[in-house]
């Protein structure tokens, strides 16, 4: 199957700072990538759909100005958590849609801790 990477795997930041998380499709081109959020002991919740070369589509309740998504190339999408607060601490997982398989492939996740 296709491989998706995320960087960093863990990040700790101070409240009020911004953090960028990268999601890369390593061996395929992904016109569409997705960002999910997972709180402890909970399921994955879709935050936004990222389309290459266009604006992301955010799920209801997700602040687009706080969670900035950029999908500048067919292999890279970034999620920037702006002015992070402790309540933004979570596990963020990205996925990339591979049209050859009609399937999303998931990255290993990024653990964000905001102090």
Partner 1 sequence: AQSVTQPDIHITVSEGASLELRCNYSYGATPYLFWYVQSPGQGLQLLLKYFSGDTLVQGIKGFEAEFKRSQSSFNLRKPSVHWSDAAEYFCAVGVNNNNDMRFGAGTRLTVKP
Q: How far is the CB of 93 from partner 1 (least distance, A)?
A: 6
φ and ψ at residue 17, rounded to 5 degrees:
-90, 170
Which of 16/108 has CB closer to partner 1?
A: 108
CB atoms within 10 A of CB 31: 15
Asked if residues 37 and 24 have their Cβ atoms less than 8 Å apart, the reply is: no
* Closest C-alpha among 17, 36, 16, 45 to residue 77: 36
Q: How far is the CB of 101 from partner 1 (least distance, A)?
A: 9
List 22, 62, 106, 113, residue binding partner 1 (CB under 8 A): 106
Q: How far apart are CA 106 and CA 95, in angstroms?
A: 4
Per CB under 8 A, contacts with partner 1 among 64-83 are: none
Which residues bind to partner 1, rule: CB under 8 A?
A: 1, 32, 34, 41-46, 49, 93, 95, 97, 99, 102-104, 106-109, 111
């Amino acid at each position: 199957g296709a491989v998706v990477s995320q960087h960093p795997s863990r990040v700790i930041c101070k409240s009020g700072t911004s953090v960028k998380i990268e999601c890369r499709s390593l061996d395929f081109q992904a016109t569409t990538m997705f960002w999910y959020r997972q709180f402890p002991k909970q399921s994955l919740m879709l935050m936004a759909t990222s389309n290459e070369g266009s604006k992301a589509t955010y799920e209801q309740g997700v602040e687009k100005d706080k969670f900035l998504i950029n999908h500048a190339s067919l292999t890279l999408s970034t999620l920037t958590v702006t002015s992070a607060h402790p309540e933004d601490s979570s596990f963020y997982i990205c996925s990339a849609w591979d049209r050859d398989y009609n399937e999303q492939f998931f990255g290993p996740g990024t653990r964000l801790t905001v102090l």
